[in-house]
């Protein structure tokens, strides 16, 4: 059985809901020496593992976690798949590592069965909770309340036990901080309920949240967090991501931290709105990416935002079935790192990028007034054609 028999509402076997999978897949990689080096808001948009300073190690761990989320892989199989790979990469046992803040060479614990279990549980539970928050927001008209529930642990934190059965509206400020999981090993969760059920259980009042000061030994910062919540868990990652996506749609992220901007772009590209446009069940258009300024300038566009319309989706569905919505998370990478390979007219460009051994091509076009940019097509060209395009681009043709 999968590790998470305690989860409310749905199962990770045979696969997670798309919003859960997308939340994790759309994170950027962020190497770090200590968990304290990364703020809670950064955890919402970046994947990090303490002492995983090499990108290839971090990517390897992330890939196995993604499989665990997508396929309902239990911990035992996750460990069996990952441990040999980490051993070959030298990320196992006690090793010397340089602390990038102090420059001190320290003996630190890298991979171990216990650490893998912590990594597995923390990431799957937080992804599940963030994905559930997305569903909560979409269905809150019919199910406007949440009830806080304890997990199956034999022993519970007293502060968490005190919240058991608390019923509050979905948008109550309480859930901005006290949305589980609320610490390492926390198995608490919420269940979304109807107004009638909330009345039967008893709707509570938003409780006062006692605060405490915690000292970050890495940065020297003292911050205030709710009592009963472990440092680093004092935010609602799903809510944070939704706010960043909303800001992205409103054009407010041009000067934001790159990790936040990239995660927001990938979130919009794999959102439910784009899914429905892509499969033909919705009309109109939606944001899917933001161009580097130099590409926007190349087509004389007044915006950097790229939209995807039902018109272009309809043309591409049958012609390029490999461009499933999950691949749209790669669109932002193609547009920001790829090579410009074609230019049919002054208002359009095609960009090619190799991802996991396969080439992907994205073409986009600005309207005549330059106020809008639309994704024309996104597909996987045959390798021979892709290499010919790259060769021509290198020759300046």
The candidate with the shortest Cα–Cα distance to 392, out of 333, 341, 317, is 341
Bridge partner residues of 287 (DSSP): 307
Residue 191 and residue 119 in one domain: no
Q: In what order do the strands lie in the sheet with 339-342?
A: 285-290, 305-309, 373-379, 358-366, 348-355, 339-342
Q: What is the pLDDT of residue 85?
A: 95
- Domain membership flag for residue 264: no
Q: What is the pTM of this model?
A: 0.64
Lowest mean pLDDT among 93-107, 147-161, 192-206, 241-255: 241-255
Report the distance separating Cα 359 and Cα 356, nearest Å: 8
pLDDT tens digits for range 25-46: 878 777 787 877 776 666 777 7
DSSP 42-100: HHHHEE--BTB-SHHHHHHHHHHHHHHHHHT--HHHHHHHHHHHHHHTT-SSEEEEE-T
Q: What is the pLDDT of residue 254?
A: 54
Residue 120 and residue 23 in one domain: yes
Pairing of strands 305-309, 373-379: parallel
- Domain membership flag for residue 14: yes
Given a contact cutoff of 8 angstroms between Cβ atoms, the answer to whether 95 and 110 are in contact is yes
Q: What is the pLDDT of residue 15?
A: 57
Q: How many CB atoms neighbour CB 71 within 10 A?
A: 15
Mean pLDDT, rounded, for 147-175: 92
Residue 168 and residue 56 in one domain: no
Residue 143 and residue 124 in one domain: no
Q: Could you tell me the pLDDT band of residue 255, with boundaries at 50, 70 and 90?
A: low
Given a contact cutoff of 8 angstroms between Cβ atoms, the answer to whether 148 and 188 are in contact is yes
The candidate with the shortest Cα–Cα distance to 24, out of 328, 322, 267, 356, is 267
- Domain membership flag for residue 79: yes
Residue 86 and residue 59 in one domain: yes
Residue 74 and residue 23 in one domain: yes
The set of residues, in sequence order, having a beta carbon less than 8 Å from that of 41 and lying 6+ positions away, is 235, 240
Report the distance separating Cα 183 and Cα 234, nearest Å: 8
Q: What is the pLDDT of residue 231?
A: 87
Residue whose structure tokens are 């074609």: 342
**Tally of structural domains, the chain:** 3
Q: Could you tell me the pLDDT band of residue 83, with boundaries at 50, 70 and 90?
A: very high
Residue 80 and residue 111 in one domain: yes
Q: Is the pLDDT of residue 106 over 60?
A: yes
The set of residues, in sequence order, having a beta carbon less than 8 Å from that of 313 and lying 6+ positions away, is 277, 278, 280
- Domain membership flag for residue 248: no
Given a contact cutoff of 8 angstroms between Cβ atoms, the answer to whether 106 and 99 are in contact is yes
Report the distance separating Cα 186 and Cα 180, nearest Å: 8
Given a contact cutoff of 8 angstroms between Cβ atoms, the answer to whether 166 and 204 are in contact is yes
- Domain membership flag for residue 323: yes
Given a contact cutoff of 8 angstroms between Cβ atoms, the answer to whether 23 and 139 are in contact is no
The candidate with the shortest Cα–Cα distance to 389, out of 364, 355, 352, 356, is 352
The set of residues, in sequence order, having a beta carbon less than 8 Å from that of 74 and lying 6+ positions away, is 1, 2, 3
The residue that leads in pLDDT, 335 or 283, is 335
pLDDT tens digits for range 328-380: 888 888 988 899 987 668 899 999 999 989 999 999 999 988 888 999 889 99
Mean pLDDT, rounded, for 120-135: 89
Given a contact cutoff of 8 angstroms between Cβ atoms, the answer to whether 241 and 190 are in contact is no
- Domain membership flag for residue 106: yes
Residue 125 and residue 29 in one domain: yes
Report the distance separating Cα 133 and Cα 242, nearest Å: 9
Residue 96 and residue 196 in one domain: no
Domain boundary among 106, 129, 152: 129
> 114 lies in which domain range?
1-129
Given a contact cutoff of 8 angstroms between Cβ atoms, the answer to whether 198 and 176 are in contact is no
Residue 63 and residue 158 in one domain: no
End-to-end CA distance of the chain: 57
- Domain membership flag for residue 237: no
State the DSSP H helix or E strand holding residue 40, giving kind and residue range, or none if neither. Answer: helix 40-45
- Domain membership flag for residue 228: no
Angle at 116 between CA 114 and CA 121, to 5 degrees: 100
Residue 288 and residue 390 in one domain: yes
Report the distance separating Cα 252 and Cα 215, nearest Å: 32
Domain boundary among 187, 206, 225: 206
Q: Where are the beta strands (DSSP E) in 99-256?
A: 105-109, 145-149, 167-169, 189-193, 211-215, 222-226
Q: Is the pLDDT of residue 12 over 60?
A: no
Residue 294 and residue 371 in one domain: yes
Q: Is the pLDDT of residue 203 over 80?
A: yes
| Strand, helix or coil for residue 206 | coil
The candidate with the shortest Cα–Cα distance to 231, out of 184, 299, 287, is 184
pLDDT tens digits for range 268-281: 788 777 887 888 87
Domain boundary among 182, 206, 230: 206
Q: What is the pLDDT of residue 244?
A: 64
């Amino acid at each position: 059985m999968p590790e998470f028999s305690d989860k409310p509402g749905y199962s990770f076997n045979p696969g997670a809901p798309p919003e859960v999978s997308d939340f994790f897949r759309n994170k950027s990689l962020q190497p770090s020496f200590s968990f304290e080096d990364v703020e809670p808001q950064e955890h919402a948009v970046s994947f990090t593992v303490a002492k995983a300073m090499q990108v290839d190690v971090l990517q390897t761990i992330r890939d196995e976690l993604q499989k665990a989320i997508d396929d309902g892989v239990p911990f035992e199989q996750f460990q069996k798949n990952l441990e040999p790979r980490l051993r070959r990469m030298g990320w196992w046992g006690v090793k010397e590592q340089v602390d990038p803040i102090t420059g001190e060479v320290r003996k630190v614990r890298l991979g171990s069965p216990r650490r893998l279990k912590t990594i597995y549980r923390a990431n799957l539970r937080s992804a599940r909770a963030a994905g559930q928050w997305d569903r909560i927001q979409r269905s809150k008209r019919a199910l406007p309340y949440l009830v806080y529930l304890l997990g199956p642990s034999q022993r519970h934190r007293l502060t968490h036990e005190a919240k058991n059965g608390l019923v509050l509206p979905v948008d109550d400020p309480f859930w901005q901080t006290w949305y589980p999981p609320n610490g390492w090993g926390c198995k608490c969760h919420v269940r979304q309920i109807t107004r009638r059920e909330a009345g039967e259980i008893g709707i509570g009042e938003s409780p006062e949240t006692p605060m405490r000061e915690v000292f970050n030994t890495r940065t020297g910062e003292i911050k205030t967090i709710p009592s009963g919540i472990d440092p680093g868990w004092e935010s609602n990652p799903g809510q944070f991501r939704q706010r960043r996506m909303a800001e992205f749609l409103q054009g407010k992220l041009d000067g934001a931290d790159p990790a936040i901007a990239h995660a927001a772009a990938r979130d919009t590209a794999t959102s439910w709105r784009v899914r429905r446009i892509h499969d033909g069940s919705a009309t109109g258009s939606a944001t899917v990416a933001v161009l580097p300024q130099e590409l926007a300038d190349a087509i004389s566009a007044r915006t950097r935002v790229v939209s995807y319309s039902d018109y272009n989706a309809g043309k591409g569905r049958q012609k390029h079935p490999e461009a499933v919505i999950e691949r749209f998370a790669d669109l932002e990478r193609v547009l920001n790192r790829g090579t410009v390979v074609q230019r049919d007219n002054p208002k359009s460009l095609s960009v090619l990028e190799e991802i996991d051994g396969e080439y992907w091509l994205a073409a986009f076009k600005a309207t005549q007034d330059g106020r809008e940019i639309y994704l024309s097509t996104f597909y996987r060209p045959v390798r021979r054609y892709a290499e010919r395009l790259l060769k021509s681009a290198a020759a300046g043709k």
